[in-house]
Structures are given as structure tokens and as C-alpha cells.
């Protein structure tokens, strides 16, 4: 570079000086002087491309491991050595250096229209709950246009936990965008088969959005939801302690409120301000919430217990020998539902040794006998089934020995079913002229209809948890038919 400048300056000051004299004066070859005077640009050193014959057979392997899967160069080099390649480290790094420009990605910022896109993701954090370090999954659902976000948390990242968090975010927003961008987690996308998880497709169909995903190792394609996690870690998780899970939950909601009222650096407006515009473009929520995981069915043992994660939990005795289904909410709350979708028991899961039994005494009340006089029990039954004095009288006439016990069992069972189900069963008992507790309970289970629990009204910027509204797919049920046989009645 310096010689090129010196030669051209010397020639410019002495136009009559020939190349021979310039070369002699500067101590350079005449060809160097000639080339410098001919070239309008300074000389640039270009190393001659060299394809290492030792590495060329492993070209595809190196591209996949280093550029696609983003493995460390040292690991790729070790794997090459294990395959018999005897290349040096410096030769390997020179080889990959020549391909780096080819794999350098660029992208253009893309702003979505109101209601067009939402993004959903989650990240693990270790937080101090009381005096213990607990690993918590924090979920974030954010609208692409307004940047309005909701945070949820769970102790697990199972499919049911992911679905619960996403539907919680949509419910609190009060609407559904046209499509939701996610990553390639196995609960949502089966990479091996290159297809969406069927359960997630059912979830998306129920809520009416188009699922879309980011390509592998393309975090910028959902940067709107990636950035909030960095902000959450630096401004909420780091160097913070919480007295309990409830304390963490309330403070997380308060942090969410602060963020949604903070001016966004890109939009120059608060997310709440833009959300008031975007919410009008969101599709309405369905009438019922969704959970469709048939594997959560459990059969209650004869001693009124179900098994969950190595421990056993009691349910009301009326469900002994029956099937119930469970839902683990936020990874720590065990909710047990009847076949008609009514909550019958709830526990807080504790990190204990396996083989523990957790019993609620109220679940066994009344299973051995009556809890009052016949008149008292009759009054209790009429509160559940008004104007059914005739049923009570016929029950007492058929079961002259201890009719109170039969009526007690019927009352206990009726607590877990709708009035319509009870009326239908009474009609069947009248039809067959059979009045006894075991048949009444069997008919209740066989003829009850699932109760669709309404969706929660959406709440924004309030520390209110969503109620567990649930609807299951019909695959979760086993249809039972009551067969008329004289020997059974």
C-alpha cells in the first residue's frame, strides 16, 4: 500500500521520470512500478483459495454440525478426529472461516397489523420461594402490534401446563389473534415427523387461531416475545425473593401491569394504549375452555384413593370404583373432577417421598350410615330434588330395613351431579319401579351429561387468577348403556 502511494506521488511530481528511474530510486522492481502506475486502486492481498483435501470429504458433516446445529468448533473438531480425520486445528478453523459469509443471516423488521399475530414462549428460572430455590417456568403471551403481554407461571412444562398457560394468556387478553407464533417445542411441534402435535392442532382449532412456528435457531422471528424474557430476568427475577408462590404470583401480575403501562421504545406508546385499539380486532373467545388429555383419567380404588406421581389422594367415597379425571394446574395444584366435570377434590402437591397417602376426612362422611333422622334427610333431599315426595315414600316402602342409609347415599351422590341429571334418574326409577341407592348411583353415572364450565370474563391489569373452566373431548369418555334386564332390577 505504501509503495503504491509513493510511486504514484513521485510520478505525479515528476511526469517525465521513467519507470526505470523510479524503480532505481525506490529500490523496487520495474514491474512493481509499472503495475502501480497502471492500477487505479491500491493493491489488495487475496489469499488463494485452498480446499484442504483432508476436510473436503467431511464438508456436509461440518456444515450441519457447526453452521446448522451451532455446535462449538472444538467439539466438531474432536468428532472429526474420532472419525479418523488428521487435520490440525488451525486448518479446520481456516476451512470454516471461508464459509461464514455464506451462512450470515440478515432480516428485516416486520410489524404486524392489529389482531394479526400473537407470540407465545416460555423460559425456566430459578427463584427463591421462602428459603428454597425453586425452578419455575414463566410463560409469556404477547400481541405483536400493541406489545401487550401477559405472564403466567408453572412448576412444569408438560403439554397440559403449556395449554393452561396459553389459554390463561388469551383469556386475560379477552380475545384471540389470527395466528400465534411459537418455537419448535415437542408439546407443540413434532420435528421428527415435521408436523404439528395433534393435541395442539385441536387446541388451536378450539380457540380459532392459525399456528405458526419459527425456524430452528431463528429467535429473531419471535423477537417480540424473546425480549420480554430478558427484561423479566433483569428487572424482576434477578436478586429478588418471594415469601410464597402466592407472593410470586401477585408480584408477577404487578410487574406485568408496570410493563404494559411503560412506553415501548419501538412504538413510542404504552402497550395498554395500543391494546385498547388492537382488542377490537381480536376474535372472541369460545364459550368454554379447553383441555383434551385423555391420559389424565384415573380409577378410584375401593378405599376411595387415586394414585398421582407415586402418592395417593382421597376422593369422596361415592366415587369408589369409578373413573375420575385429574388436572395438575401450575404444576402444583391437583384438581380432581367427576365424569360430569365437577370439581370434587383439590390438593397442593408437595415435594415428598413416594408412597405417601393424603386423606381428607370429609370425603368419608356418611359412608357407613345416616347422618340424621328420616325427616331431616327427607328435607335435605327435597332441597336437591323439589317436589319428589313420592320418590321418598316409595324408597321407604321398598327398603323397610334402614331406608335412611339408602337416602344418605343418594344425597351424597346427588351433590356431584346437576338437577337435570337427578330428575332423569328419578324418572328411570319410577319407570322400573325400583328404589335403592346402588341403582340410583349407577344410573347417575351412566346418564349424566358433561357440564361445560363457562369461560372466565377477561381481566386486564388486575391481580385476579382465572377460574379452572374446562371442557374435554369426547374421546375422554367411555359410554355406558343401561341395559334392561329383569334379573338386574
What does the pLDDT read at residue 381? 83
DSSP states of 19-46 = HHHHHHHHT--HHHHHHHHH-SS-----
**Cell reading at 18:** 521513467
Q: pLDDT at residue 395 above 60?
A: yes
**117-281: CATH, from 2.40.30.10, 3.30.420.10, 3.30.43.10, 3.40.50.620:** 3.30.420.10
- Looking at residue 388, its pLDDT comes to 84
* Tens-digit pLDDT profile for residues 90-138: 888 888 888 776 565 554 555 778 889 999 999 889 899 888 888 999 9
C-alpha cell of residue 49? 483459495
- 339, 448 Cβ separation under 8 angstroms: yes
Q: How confident is the model at residue 472 (pLDDT cuts 50, 70, 90)?
A: very low
Helix (H, G, I), strand (E, B) or coil at 483: coil
**Chain segment 273-325, per-residue pLDDT in tens:** 999 999 999 999 988 777 555 457 788 888 888 888 888 888 888 788 888 88
Rg (CA), the chain: 36
Mean pLDDT of 370-397: 82
In this predicted structure, the answer to whether residue 394 has a pLDDT above a threshold of 90 is: no
Nearest Cα residue to 96 out of 129, 132, 157, 55: 55
User: In 3D, which of 464, 245, 472 has the Cα closest to residue 348?
Assistant: 245
Alpha carbon distance 113, 117 (integer Å): 8
Coil, helix or strand at residue 301: coil
Query: Which of 65-74, 140-149, 288-297, 423-432 has the weakest average pLDDT?
Result: 288-297
Q: Is the pLDDT of residue 37 over 90?
A: no
Residue 456 confidence class, pLDDT cut points 50, 70, 90: very low
Only one residue has cell 389422594, namely: 313
d(CA 74, CA 81): 11
What sign for the dihedral angle of Cα 85, 89, 90, 93?
Answer: positive
What backbone torsions phi and psi does residue 285 show, to the nearest 5 degrees? -70, 150
**Which band of pLDDT confidence, cut at 50, 70 and 90, is reported for residue 247?**
very high
Q: Write down the pLDDT at residue 335.
A: 84
Give the DSSP H/E element, type plus range, for residue 136.
strand 132-143
Neighbours of 369 (CB within 10 A): 10
pLDDT at 183 over 50: yes
The answer to whether 264 touches 270, Cβ cutoff 8 Å, is: yes
| Strands 343-348, 333-337: pairing kind | antiparallel
Instruction: Say what the pLDDT of residue 179 is.
Output: 92
Determine the distance from the C-alpha atom of residue 433 to the mean position of all C-alpha atoms in its chain, rounded to a whole number.
Answer: 51
Q: Which helix (H) or strand (E) holds 8?
A: helix 2-13
Q: What is the DSSP letter of 460?
A: S
Q: Where are the domains of the chain?
A: 2-38, 56-103, 117-281, 294-364, 374-452
pLDDT of residue 101: 65
| Count of C-beta atoms within a 10 Å radius of residue 410 | 28
Helix count (H) and strand count (E) of the chain?
Answer: 16, 15
Give yes or no for residue 479 having a pLDDT over 50. no
Q: What length does the chain have?
A: 489
Segment among 60-69, 143-152, 209-218 with least mean pLDDT? 209-218
> What average pLDDT does the segment 415-438 reach?
84
Provide DSSP, 339-357: TTS-EEEEEE-----TT-E
- At 193-231, the pLDDT tens digits run 888 888 888 899 889 999 988 765 555 444 455 567 878
Would you tell me how many other CB atoms lie within 10 Å of the CB of residue 164? 26
Amino acid at each position: 500500500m505504501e509503495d503504491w502511494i509513493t510511486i504514484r506521488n513521485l510520478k505525479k511530481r515528476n511526469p517525465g521520470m521513467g519507470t526505470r528511474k523510479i524503480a532505481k530510486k525506490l529500490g523496487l522492481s520495474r514491474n512493481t512500478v509499472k503495475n502501480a502506475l497502471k492500477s487505479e486502486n491500491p493493491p489488495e492481498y487475496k489469499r488463494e483459495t485452498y480446499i484442504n483435501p483432508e476436510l473436503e470429504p467431511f464438508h456436509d458433516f461440518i456444515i450441519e454440525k457447526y453452521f446448522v446445529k451451532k455446535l462449538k468448533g472444538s467439539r466438531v473438531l474432536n468428532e472429526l478426529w474420532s472419525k479418523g480425520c488428521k487435520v490440525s486445528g488451525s486448518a479446520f478453523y481456516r476451512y470454516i472461516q471461508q464459509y461464514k459469509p455464506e451462512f450470515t443471516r440478515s432480516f428485516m423488521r416486520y410489524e404486524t397489523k392489529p389482531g394479526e399475530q400473537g407470540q407465545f414462549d416460555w423460559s425456566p428460572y430459578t427463584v427463591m420461594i421462602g428459603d428454597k430455590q425453586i425452578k419455575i417456568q414463566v410463560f409469556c403471551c404477547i400481541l405483536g402490534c400493541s406489545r401487550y403481554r401477559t405472564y403466567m407461571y408453572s412448576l412444569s412444562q408438560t403439554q397440559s401446563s403449556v395449554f393452561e398457560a396459553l389459554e390463561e394468556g388469551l383469556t386475560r387478553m379477552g380475545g384471540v389473534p389470527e395466528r400465534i407464533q411459537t418455537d419448535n417445542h415437542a408439546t407443540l411441534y413434532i420435528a421428527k415427523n415435521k408436523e404439528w402435535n395433534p393435541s395442539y392442532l385441536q387446541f388451536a382449532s378450539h380457540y380459532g387461531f392459525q399456528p405458526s412456528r419459527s425456524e430452528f435457531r431463528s429467535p429473531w422471528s419471535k423477537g417480540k416475545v424473546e425480549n420480554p424474557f430478558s427484561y423479566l430476568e433483569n428487572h424482576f427475577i434477578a436478586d429478588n425473593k418471594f415469601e410464597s408462590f402466592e407472593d410470586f404470583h401477585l408480584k408477577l401480575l404487578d410487574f406485568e401491569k408496570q410493563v404494559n403501562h411503560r412506553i415501548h421504545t419501538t412504538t413510542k406508546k404504552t402497550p395498554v394504549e395500543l391494546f385498547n385499539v388492537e382488542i377490537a380486532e381480536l376474535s372472541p373467545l369460545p364459550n368454554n375452555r379447553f383441555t383434551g388429555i385423555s391420559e389424565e383419567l384415573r380409577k378410584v380404588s375401593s378405599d376411595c384413593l387415586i394414585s398421582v406421581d407415586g402418592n395417593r389422594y382421597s376422593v369422596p367415597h361415592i366415587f369408589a370404583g369409578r373413573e375420575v379425571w385429574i388436572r395438575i394446574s401450575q404444576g402444583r395444584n391437583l384438581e380432581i373432577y367427576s365424569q360430569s366435570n365437577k370439581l370434587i377434590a383439590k390438593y397442593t402437591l408437595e415435594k415428598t417421598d413416594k408412597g405417601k397417602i393424603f386423606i381428607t376426612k370429609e370425603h368419608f362422611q356418611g359412608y357407613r350410615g345416616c347422618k340424621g333422622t328420616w325427616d331431616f334427610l327427607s328435607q335435605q333431599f327435597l332441597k336437591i330434588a323439589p317436589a319428589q315426595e313420592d320418590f321418598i315414600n316409595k324408597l321407604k316402602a321398598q327398603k323397610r330395613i334402614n331406608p335412611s342409609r339408602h337416602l344418605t347415599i343418594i344425597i351424597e351422590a346427588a351433590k356431584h351431579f346437576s338437577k337435570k341429571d337427578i330428575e332423569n334418574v328419578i324418572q328411570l326409577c319410577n319407570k322400573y319401579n325400583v328404589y335403592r341407592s346402588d341403582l340410583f348411583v349407577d344410573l347417575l353415572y351412566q346418564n349424566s351429561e358433561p357440564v361445560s364450565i363457562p369461560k372466565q370474563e377477561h381481566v386486564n391489569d388486575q391481580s385476579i387468577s382465572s377460574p379452572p373452566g374446562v371442557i374435554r373431548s369426547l374421546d375422554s369418555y367411555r359410554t355406558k348403556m343401561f341395559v334392561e334386564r329383569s334379573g338386574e332390577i
